[in-house]
Chains A and B, each alone.
Chain A
Amino acid sequence: MQGKKILAATILSLALPLVGMGAHAAQPAGTFDQVQPAKNRIDFVFKQMNVPVKGHFKKAKVDLVFDPAAPANSTVRLDLDLASIDAGSADANSEVVGKPWFDIKSFPTATFVSSSVKPLGGDRYEMTGKLTIKGKTRDVTTPVTVTQNGNTAAFDGGFTLKRLEFAIGDGSWSDTSIVADEVKVSFHVEAERRAAK
């Protein structure tokens, strides 16, 4: 008797979350716009002499509005503090802030401003926007996966940019046989729901 009850309870507790996932109504409604800066990550991987080197930015200001009921109305704005870069080594960090790379004296921040968000079905979206680095603006498109967990949502995605389109690594550094043109960028942003009014 006791055993059966435990079994039934176990099955039920395993199945319940599945039911919750199926029915969106089970999620509380509301717009996500309280970005949690401490949880954000902006990472990148570049290749030098075919060696993948990881880096990231320590300071990024993200503003976003995401309403699961109307995802196409979402907006994102990123202000990236370029001086907060970690490009993999102390040597590289002092190099990349300089004129041939990010020239942060003249261009301290990079920005991304979304222009459209297209639902791809399920938790997947396609975001397009304008990325501005070193005074050059290019359209970029990136997939974004949204993982909702109660009142928190995580936004994950990544895209490849060509550093030379933004003149990142000018002059002798433009030799792509040493430092590849493609840089893989990935991001993780978390936001909580706007407090109910």
Chain B
Amino acid sequence: MNASNKYSKPAVIVHWMVAILVLVALPLGYYMTDLSLSPRKLQLISWHKWIGFTVLLLLIPRLFLRLTRPVPAPVDTMPGWQRAVASLTHVVLYVLIIAVPLTGWLMSSAKGFPVVYLGLIPLPDLVGKDEALGDLLKSAHEVLTSGLLILVGLHIAAALKHHIIDRDETLVRMVPLLKR
């Protein structure tokens, strides 16, 4: 494997950090929304916001790495239509990974609940308190989240297909531990 066929180590690390955080924020989001108001619910909502905001923060190094280092080309054996679908999926994943936490933060501001990151750092309110806008942003957060869920599913399914069916290097280069 030559250098351009590999992701840089920081790129791999930040990919998995974002993946883990998103995979925690998703079920946590669905679970906490269904709870009736309780101290536990308030705690979970706060954790959810902190995790989501961390995803947003990690986008800074992530996008920096993505734009400053060559991204390895898809494996040679991939047909053109698969390459097109893969790169489209990746672009939409990036968009949703920005849009989902951003609408969460916007919703929080609109509902009159400032976000205090880790309970320590107050974040600015992105919009003033406005119930109607808050409800709209809540729907946006839900709909975008469903989109994210579908794309994450597709993304994982494709990665597993490359590894198990095509038996190519696609997953291995993002999971160096799997090297066979």
A residues apposed to B, CB below 8 Å: 48-54, 88-89, 91-92, 95, 172-173, 175, 178-179
Contact = CB atoms under 8 A, between A and B. Distances in A.
Given A49-B46, A49-B119, A51-B46, A179 B39 contact: yes
A53 to B, nearest CB: 6
Interface in B41-75: 42-43, 46
Interface string B23-44: 0000000000000011100110
A49 B120 contact: no
A89 B115 contact: no
A52 B116 CA distance: 9
A174 B70 CA distance: 54
A54 B39 CA distance: 18
Given A91-B37, A178-B43, A179-B39, A50 B112 contact: no
A125 to B, nearest CB: 32
Contacts of A179: 39, 42
Interface of B: 37-39, 42-43, 46, 111-116, 119-120
A128 B115 CA distance: 36
Nearest to A49: B46
Contact of A172 (B38, B46, B111, B114): B38
Contact of B42 (A49, A52, A54): A49
Given A49-B46, A50-B119, A51-B46, 4 more contacts: A49-B43, A50-B116, A89-B112, A178-B43
